[in-house]
A = this chain, B = another copy of it.
Amino acid sequence: MLTDTRDHDTVDHAMQPEDTPELRALYKGFEDESLIPLWTQLGDLMPIHPKSKAVPHVWKWSALLPLAEKAGELVPVGRGGERRAIGLANPGLAPHAYISPTLWAAIQYLGPRETAPEHRHSQNAFRFVVEGEGVWTVVNGDPVRMSRGDLLLTPGWCFHGHHNDTDHPMAWIDGLDIPFSQQMDVGFFEFGSDRVTDYATPNFSRGERLWCHPGLRPLSGLQDTVASPIGAYRWEFTDRALSEQLLLEDEGQPATVAPGHAAIRYVNPTTGGDVMPTIRCEFHRLRAGTETATRNEVGSTVFQVFEGRGAVVLNGERTPLETGDMFVVPSWVPWSLQAETQFDLFRFSDAPIMEALSFMRRKVEGQV
């Protein structure tokens, strides 16, 4: 009965026409003309709320890192394969290496003295470093140091390559909008230098030296850009921003996003908006003992634990988490975080897409 289904999660197909030879002939006619009727597919096409084929999933750093190290032994890096990157493949989206319908996440590994050659593509990319140091990524010719806790940007169509300046390997995570780009057919790609164009290893990139002065904008950079001109968001600043929020909370001042929950968004200083047109990046710090309200959001998001111990509750199921662990929350899947110790997490999501196209909706437990 339709009245039974209207409050439920699926749109029932109560009125499928009777199966007759004439109907079959009609359906054959549809097929011949590359047509498909809506009435046989409506429930899938238009669910009551988003029901992603992607599933919530947790990847353990303790499993990821050894596999990356092994790949370091067996798989060369260079022109063609381009990167020794291993994608986190959402089990619901096989055979694609998509962590969600919009996002790609991978662990990338570069051995001692190795170089990943330069190329550029429409896809927006970033790297986040959960541990280690010694690699420089060269973005449009500007060498950018990669160190623990840093967020490094490679916006669409910027040339970029990486090289390891040390005798020890380094691993980090990559985030891109590859699934969006591939499904929406927007991607261009171009090879660059087989080596990086500048092997210098400065502490600070030119982008940082021009742009990382709080509230100050160079007069030579008054034109707004769609992606941030800051190539590296340093851990030192992120850590201090979060610490100050918790200190202000201790002083009784408004500063945190919820009690015990400090958070910053990485932004494009030319606009105050997201760092790249498709990807939002944030960092969250929970005091020990804090639990966040359960929330549902349109769009997908990925977290990596940076430090501390805690858990995520996804669709009611709790999974313990420790440093380096990653998880994905597909669209409209309810989630919350629990902090056992002080709990630091890097987060990225496709929220800029959802907001730009007016599809964003949020539901927070206990809020109307």
Q: Which of B45, B101, B206 contacts A253 (CB 8 A)?
A: B206
Contacts of A20 in B (CB 8 A): 74
Asked if A367 is at the interface (CB within 8 A of a chain B CB), the reply is no
Minimal beta-carbon separation of A326 from chain B (angstroms): 11
Asked if A131 is at the interface (CB within 8 A of a chain B CB), the reply is no
Asked if A17 is at the interface (CB within 8 A of a chain B CB), the reply is yes
Asked if A364 is at the interface (CB within 8 A of a chain B CB), the reply is no
Asked if A182 is at the interface (CB within 8 A of a chain B CB), the reply is yes
Minimal beta-carbon separation of A289 from chain B (angstroms): 20
Copies in the complex: 4
Q: Which of B216, B264, B353 contacts A266 (CB 8 A)?
A: B216
Q: A80-B14, A300-B185 are in contact. Are A33 and B63 (CB under 8 A)?
A: yes
Q: Which of B26, B80, B104, B298 contacts A74 (CB 8 A)?
A: B26
Minimal beta-carbon separation of A204 from chain B (angstroms): 9
Chain A positions 1 through 45: 1 when the CB is less than 8 Å from some CB of chain B, otherwise 0: 010001000011111110010110010011001111111011011
Minimal beta-carbon separation of A263 from chain B (angstroms): 4
- Measured as residues with beta carbon below 8 angstroms from the partner, the interface class of chain A is 35 or more
Minimal beta-carbon separation of A127 from chain B (angstroms): 14
Kindly list the 3 A-B residue pairs having the minimum CB-CB distance in the complex, ordered from nearest: A39-B81, A185-B331, A14-B80
14 more CB-based (< 8 A) A-B contacts, given A101-B184, A122-B359: A34-B90, A42-B80, A45-B104, A54-B185, A180-B184, A184-B354, A185-B331, A210-B255, A213-B214, A213-B264, A217-B267, A219-B264, A226-B358, A277-B358
User: Can you pick out 7 interface pairs between chain A and chain B where the beta carbons lie within 8 Å of each other?
Assistant: A16-B81, A39-B83, A184-B359, A214-B214, A215-B228, A216-B266, A218-B241
